Amino acid sequence: MGSHRRPKPPSRARIATLGMAAGAVSLLPTQSQAAPKPTIDEVRKEVERLYEEAEAPTEEYNAIREKQKKLQREADSAQDRLARKQQEINELRDAIGPLAAAQYRSGGVDPSVQLFLSGDPDDYLDQAEMLDRTSSRQAEALRAMQAKQRELTQERRAAQKRLQVLEETRTKAAQTKNEVQDKLAKARKLLNSLTAAQRARMEAAQEREDTAAGVSDSPATYNGPASGRAKAALDFAYAQLGKPYEWGATGPNSYDCSGLTGASWRAAGVSLPRTVKQQYDAGRKVAKSDLQPGDIIYWYNDNQHNGMYVGNGKAIHAPRTGKNIEIVPLDSMPFFAASRP
């Protein structure tokens, strides 16, 4: 602060140097943007990663949808119960109406005056007895109506709670759906950034890898040793070979992984729950060394991906978006567990 001299205007040379430096700085992002485009192999690996990441929320979405269906059924039956109870109350109210009218007509006059006015004491006593019966019937009907009214109020509260939980579940399902679709959109965008020739090269490389690994999605018929229900399940699964994977799908034109295992065993008359986790929890666990064709295989962990053992160290599964139902070596992914429906 000691000097009050105005700073010297920058010299032309200095301006030129600053300009070059500014130019260099402004070039930096451009240079990084112009970094070599990812190789076809890098794109493929990133697409694989995004598809794999979409699998866990897909299963979560399936579980939420199952819960949503159950809540919807409960809400519907609660509405039916409410309607029935309201009808019962209306009927009771209608029944009380004539009783109340009778009591009003007979009970509006003091009994001693009524006796005095009555030309026939016996007639009065008959009337009094009838009135007494009417009053007790009416009291009973009123009590019944009040009890029904209380039940109706409780039912209404319970129905409101169910609808609230159902709405929360719907919101959660929508969020999870968006999460999956976001990952799939990113994968599609990456794939769309490739030229047709690059994509063809990528698919050819994938096919070579699949062939080398013994992967096949060509239509085939199961002709292994399985019998009974396991054979029926495998016959169905084999008939789906070559159909596309689609998240959240349970057939008949596309499947996700647990959608395929569930549909295959359903064709054999066995009802499995919807998600990988639920199928894992419901099944009787078998050791890898005791595998039989038809057993359900879980890869990675207990809730991410499953398929069915077909024998000879191979399994059939709905792999991921962009691929078709295929037969793969059992150890093409990290084996986690197996269960027998």
Q: Is 257 a catalytic residue?
A: yes
CA–CA gap between residue 168 and residue 151 (Å, rounded): 26
Name the token pair of 214.
């013994």
Marked catalytic residue, from 44, 148, 277, 317: 317
CA–CA gap between residue 148 and residue 142 (Å, rounded): 10
Going by the DSSP 8-state scheme, the letter that residue 289 receives in this structure is G
Query: Taking a C-beta distance cutoff of 8 angstroms, is the pair 25, 172 a contact?
Result: no
Query: Taking a C-beta distance cutoff of 8 angstroms, is the pair 277, 29 a contact?
Result: no
Angle at 157 between CA 152 and CA 158, to 5 degrees: 95
Q: Is 4 a catalytic residue?
A: no
Marked catalytic residue, from 202, 226, 257, 315: 257
Strand order in the sheet with 326-329: 284-286, 335-340, 296-299, 305-311, 314-317, 326-329
Q: Is 317 a catalytic residue?
A: yes
Dihedral sign of CA atoms 218, 221, 227, 232 in order = positive
CA–CA gap between residue 316 and residue 328 (Å, rounded): 6
Name the token pair of 44.
């493929």
- Of the chain, the end-to-end C-alpha distance in Å amounts to 85
Marked catalytic residue, from 148, 305, 314, 320: 305
| Backbone torsions φ then ψ of 41, nearest 5 degrees | -65, -40
Closest Cα to residue 333, out of 55, 43, 46?
55
CA–CA gap between residue 22 and residue 15 (Å, rounded): 10
Residues labelled as active-site residues: 257, 305, 317
